[in-house]
Amino acid sequence: MKNKVVAMLLAGGQGSRLKSLTYNIAKPAIPFGGKYRIIDFPLSNCMNSEIHTVGVLTQYQPHVLHNYIGQGIPWDLDRRSGGVTMLTPYTEMGGLKWYDGTANAIYQNMHYLAEQDPEYVLILSGDHIYKMNYQTMLEFHKEQKADVTISVIEVPWKETHRFGIMNTDDQMNVKEFVEKPENAESNLASMGVYIFNWQKLKKYLQLDNENENSSHDFGKNIIPLMLENNEKMVAYPYKGYWKDVGTVDSLWEANMDLLDETSGLNLHDPGWRIFSSNPQLPPQFIGEHGVVQDSLVNEGCVIEGAIEKSVIFQDVQVDEGASLKECVVMSGVKIGKGAQLQRVIIPPGLSIPENYQIPDQKEEIVLLTEEVLENWGRGEGL
């Protein structure tokens, strides 16, 4: 098929700054927004952009992701041709090859790409919450007759040191790529979304692989190498909500953004729905004493306590007298009678004891764990 695009979704990262949330699952599998996982966003973007061939590259703790994605039915990826393919590291004649860097992960799946025979390859990461039409970006890529197009977003100048920054000319040609600069010349940050012409990508992956000193990373190696060789590289300016949910704080903030009409993150757009696997639970029940304000409450919940400005996932039980404010409560959690919680993230399946309160909590966001609860039980505080 002409103009064929294959998306390669990098989902092998650990996301260690999310602490206990990623001990057992990869970052893209982290629950988000009451009924989603982070990976639902890039997958739904693919579906809404009519990209029907997606390779999902996994490495770190992949079982939840594999199980969750399955045949890709929620994202219309259960297809006769193309569809979703889970790409894990494998052994070959040369031995076992773990993915070593983002570019290496793609390099090791060149057979898959060759088999799909695309014209363009879209590289995505499974770490961000955003809604983006990749087809519009592809149009831009074609118009500019680029070899590679990198999606960029304007970030506040004071935060430029956290991002990979693109220095461009007036025509959006990329002149320089600087990783986490101290004194940035531009505030256009790379979103980690790339469109490559497949033949060019193939060439540079092979070149990069031959370089033993390379760390085989798109940002650190492939992009600079292509710039060095004067390949046509353009920046595609994206406008809209985009958030890296790589830390406990940013994950909490992104959840809270769902409760804020002015945040720019809108799940109610019928033309750009975010799809997710459905657990088929009964409807939520708000009991006689239950009070719910300014919150998302999902199926299977039984609410007897008071909830304010919180995101409550599926199958959560909140007992009488308990109160939650600005909390993210993941699925299967039980909140005991009289517990008082504010600004916490509660991972799936935790049971919060009766009358629990976090000692000495100031403004910070707390990620609760089994360990924290046990310590509290012994009277040891946080």
Partner 1 sequence: MRLMAVIDASVRMSGLEDLTMYRSTASIPFSGRYRLIDFALSNVVNSNINLVGVFPAYPFVSLLDHIGVGKSWDLNRRKDGLFFLPGSQKAGNYVSVGAFSMLGEHRQFFAKSKQEHVVITNCFTVAQLDFDDMLDAHLASGMDITEAICDDGTHLKSYILSKKLLVELMESYEEKENHQH
* Binding residue for partner 1, selected from 9, 43, 47, 178, defined by CB under 8 A: 47
Nearer to partner 1, 2 or 378 (CB): 2
* Binding residue for partner 1, selected from 22, 45, 48, 53, defined by CB under 8 A: 48
Q: Does 51 bind partner 1 (CB under 8 A)?
A: no
**Binding piece for partner 1, criterion CB under 8 A, among 33-41, 48-56, 157-165, 321-329:** 48-56
Nearer to partner 1, 195 or 306 (CB): 195
DSSP assignment of 321-379 equals T-EEES-EE-TT-EE-TT-EEESEEE-TT-EEPTT-B-TT--SS-EE--HHHHHHHHTT
What is the side-by-side strand order in the sheet with 311-312? 296-297, 311-312, 328-329, 344-346, 366-367
**Binding piece for partner 1, criterion CB under 8 A, among 77-85, 116-124, 328-336, 356-364:** 77-85
Compute the distance between CA of residue 367 and CA of residue 349 in angstroms, rounded to an integer: 14
Compute the distance between CA of residue 100 and CA of residue 91 in angstroms, rounded to an integer: 14
Q: Which amino acid, 201?
A: L
Q: Does 50 bind partner 1 (CB under 8 A)?
A: yes
Give least dist CB 198 to partner 1, A: 18
Query: b vs e for 206-222, b when ≥16 Cβ sit within 10 Å of the residue's Cβ?
Result: eebeeeeebebbbbbbb
Q: Does 68 bind partner 1 (CB under 8 A)?
A: no
Q: Which amino acid, 146?
A: A
Compute the distance between CA of residue 172 and CA of residue 237 in angstroms, rounded to an integer: 8
Give least dist CB 122 to partner 1, A: 15
Q: Does 79 bind partner 1 (CB under 8 A)?
A: yes
**Binding piece for partner 1, criterion CB under 8 A, among 5-13, 88-96, 267-275, 353-361:** 267-275
**Binding piece for partner 1, criterion CB under 8 A, among 45-53, 62-70, 108-116, 347-355:** 45-53
Structure tokens at 127: 């770490």
Q: Does 145 bind partner 1 (CB under 8 A)?
A: no
Compute the distance between CA of residue 75 and CA of residue 127 in angstroms, rounded to an integer: 18
Compute the distance between CA of residue 346 and CA of residue 142 in angstroms, rounded to an integer: 45
* Binding residue for partner 1, selected from 12, 15, 62, 74, defined by CB under 8 A: 74
Q: Does 320 bind partner 1 (CB under 8 A)?
A: no
**Residue in 280, 279, 311 with CA at minimum distance from that of residue 297:** 311
Nearer to partner 1, 52 or 141 (CB): 52
Q: Does 143 bind partner 1 (CB under 8 A)?
A: no
Nearer to partner 1, 79 or 162 (CB): 79
**Binding piece for partner 1, criterion CB under 8 A, among 78-86, 179-187, 197-205, 307-315:** 78-86
Nearer to partner 1, 52 or 343 (CB): 52
Q: Does 1 bind partner 1 (CB under 8 A)?
A: yes
The answer to whether 126 and 27 have CB atoms below 8 angstroms apart is: yes
- Residue 289: HSE in the Cβ half-sphere, 13 Å Cα cutoff: 11
**Binding piece for partner 1, criterion CB under 8 A, among 12-20, 73-81, 88-96, 371-379:** 73-81
Q: Does 275 bind partner 1 (CB under 8 A)?
A: yes
Q: Catalog residues that contact partner 1 under the rule CB under 8 A.
A: 1-2, 47-48, 50, 52, 74, 76, 79-81, 135, 271, 273, 275
